[in-house]
Amino acid sequence: MGKIIQYGRANPVWFIENILGCPLMDFQKYMIMGGWTTQKSVYVQSRASGKSFVAALIIMSKVILFPGYRAYILAPTQRQASQLFEKIQDIALKNLQTIVGNDVFLGETVKTNGNATGFVTASGDPHVDLYNGSSIIALNGKPKGLVAIRANGLFYDEAGKISEEMFALTEPFITVSSDFKTNIDMTVFPKNVPNQAFYFSSAEDTTTHLWNLYKEGAKRMMMGYNDYFVCDVTCEMPLHPTMNGEEYAPLLTQGEIDAAMRSNE
């Protein structure tokens, strides 16, 4: 088990496909590998490119592979955040017709007598806890209630539609280093996974916080820094997808792309 966990930490695509049982398109593999270790990862994605699917798998992998990992889902509304949480639940419970999956994630969730799955959605913020001390929480979309939280991973869904106020309140959740501890010898204590922020969104205009992150991240990538990862998933990728280098059935049609371009180029 230790060898599997250590190998999965360095090879998340292998872990997702072979341990979680979820096959990936080649462009989705690139997305996951590119943002796995960066401080900030920005994904600007076309329709039908599996935005929620990829986000869900990254979250599921992080909380399984790293003990005590606290993952927070944030979105413009509570409903949007809950939808990404439900995507995780559907993958875990094998409710997606396109994915066979397995019971690995469900086997790690903390169950109670009144909850056979571990997923809590009835009241408050939807959440699930794992036996290794990790947790996933879909936060309320109202900025005023988001205070005094410490996170290892922030996962913004539809980041282009999130307000500046919400970013100002939530991005500091990962400011404190994950390696900060007191009353111990830090030279002998193993390092934790760095705190990270992931931004998933459709394309928006240049007045958004998402655009500033995209622009700054693209510059830093071109200069050779490894703290940002920016991924522009155009419609060509789901239109001509490949899996393990082989052509695969399109995830959307040229007609859908043409209609979308006519309505909002």
DSSP track, 92-115? HTT--TT----STTGGGBPPBTTB
Residue 18 has pLDDT above 90, yes or no: yes
Residue 253 has pLDDT above 90, yes or no: no
The Cβ of residue 124 has, within 10 Å, a number of other Cβ atoms equal to 10
Of 135-149, 176-190, 204-218, minimum mean pLDDT range: 176-190
- Residue 23: what pLDDT? 92
Residue 181 has pLDDT above 70, yes or no: no
Of 14-18, 37-41, 64-68, 246-250, minimum mean pLDDT range: 246-250
Mean pLDDT of 221-236: 93
Mean pLDDT of the chain: 89
- Residue 150: what pLDDT? 87
Residue 116 has pLDDT above 60, yes or no: yes
Cα–Cα distance for residue pair 33/44, rounded to 1 Å: 16
Chain centroid, CA 233 distance in Å: 15
Mean pLDDT of 56-81: 94
pLDDT confidence bin for 58, thresholds 50/70/90:
very high
Q: Which of 50, 123, 17, 55 lies closest to 115, judged by CA?
A: 123
- Residue 50: what pLDDT? 87
Mean pLDDT of 19-47: 94
- Residue 256: what pLDDT? 85
Cα–Cα distance for residue pair 257/10, rounded to 1 Å: 36
Residue 189 has pLDDT above 70, yes or no: no
Residue 186 has pLDDT above 80, yes or no: no
The Cβ of residue 44 has, within 10 Å, a number of other Cβ atoms equal to 23
Mean pLDDT of 198-203: 94
Mean pLDDT of 6-26: 94
10 near 2, Cβ under 8 Å?
no
Please list the helix, strand and coil fractions of the chain in percent, rounded to the nearest 5, in that order: 40, 15, 45
The SS3 of residue 156 is strand
- Residue 177: what pLDDT? 61
Residue 74 has pLDDT above 60, yes or no: yes
pLDDT confidence bin for 43, thresholds 50/70/90:
very high
